[in-house]
Amino acid sequence: MQKIELTVHEFMSIMGALDEARGGKGPNSDTIYDEWFTQWKALDERLEKLDMMARADMLFDGKISINAISEAHFGQLIDAVRSQIAMHQDLIDSEDEDADPDDLEIWQSRLAELEGLHDSASWSRQS
């Protein structure tokens, strides 16, 4: 399988949303949240130590590589991206001040990329 790359911002957004959905209870099952929890916390601590400009650079220019992912976890990643799309669409629909059509477009592009990868011949089922 090809490796998956997410921007640091995408990774942090996905993990933050998954954490919020769990009520901050931490890892306890076989999910991407559990698999990526330690890396997320370490990266969060690292980001907190940076000044505002360096943090912004890391969030939008930095990459997270996922070298091995099970089919179940890949599906969870796709679901997490779909949740980000729904959240951003809700912000736009409700004319929230935080609404940004560009953010929605970025998440829609990421979903198309992941679905294309999942449907491609290069996808190999891993346990």
Residue range 34-85, pLDDT digits in tens: 999 999 999 999 999 999 999 999 999 999 998 878 888 899 999 999 999 9
Between CA 92 and CA 71 the distance in angstroms is 32
Secondary element (H or E) of residue 49: none
pTM of structure: 0.86
Q: Where are the domains of the chain?
A: 4-119
Residue positions counted in the chain: 127
Between CA 27 and CA 34 the distance in angstroms is 5
